[in-house]
Every structure is written in C-alpha cells, then in structure tokens.
Amino acid sequence: MRRQSGGEEISREMEVKLYVGNLAYSTTEDDLRTLFAQAGTVATVSLIKDRDTGQSKGFAFIEMSNQVEAEAAISKFNGYSLAGRELKVNIARPPESRGGYGNRGGGYGDRGGGNRNRSGGGQRRY
C-alpha cells in the first residue's frame, strides 16, 4: 500500500486471473464463486460457454483480489474433486495474439506457382 498526499491509502495489489479447467458441464458460476471464496475475495467468475449452444466448455477464469489469495486458491483447489472431476487450477496465461487476415497460418506455403508449364519446356506438339 502507498499513501497519497491526502493520507488515504491506495492499494497497489492487482487482481490475479486464474484458469480453472476440467470442470463438469453442470458446474455454474455460482458454484465456482462459492468454492473459491474459501480462499479469499473473488472479483469475477467467467465460465466459458459455447456461443451457439450456451453449454459450458468445461473451463473458467476466476479473478482473485490479490496474489496471496490466488496462490492460496491454487494450492487448495488444484487437484480438488468437484462434481466427480479433478480440477486443474493455475495462473492464467495472457491470450495469444491472433493477428489479422495476414497472419492466419495454415495456408499452402510456397508451392512454386507462376510457371504452369510442367512438361519441361517448349510448346506442345501434337
């Protein structure tokens, strides 16, 4: 904590986002909020769902209010059995850059191109 000139305290601790995987599809955000509140203050819970069906994809992101509480949640709930599934809990990695249309990958690579005359030269004679 740091004191501002007026004497009020400003918190320098930041929320820490956790990845929670291997969830049962029946698990709700409220289930996760209640569970992780045992380790500290839960700022947000985001259960990831399929955009077409609305069904859970089996993982979520939970923001804990600080690093100490996040580490407590990891040690307490990584490997914890919830709805018959062993949870995987760790610090969330930042999302990978997807890039625009120019960086899609998966193309055809360099396939030669240009000269379609594959017979080795000259005009065809019949």
The answer regarding whether domain 11-92 maps to CATH 3.30.70.330 reads yes
Mean pLDDT of the chain: 82
Over pLDDT 70: what percentage of the chain?
67
pTM: 0.67
HEC-encoded secondary structure of the chain: CEECCCCCEECCCCCEEEEEECCCCCCCHHHHHHHHCCCCCEEEEEEEECCCCCCEEEEEEEEECCHHHHHHHHHHHCCCEECCEECEEEECCCCCCCCCHHHCCCCCCCCCCCCCCCCCCCCCCC
Residue 64: which pLDDT band, with cuts at 50, 70 and 90? Answer: very high
Domain ranges for the chain: 11-92
Give the mean pLDDT of 39-50: 97
Answer whether residue 73 shows pLDDT above 60. yes
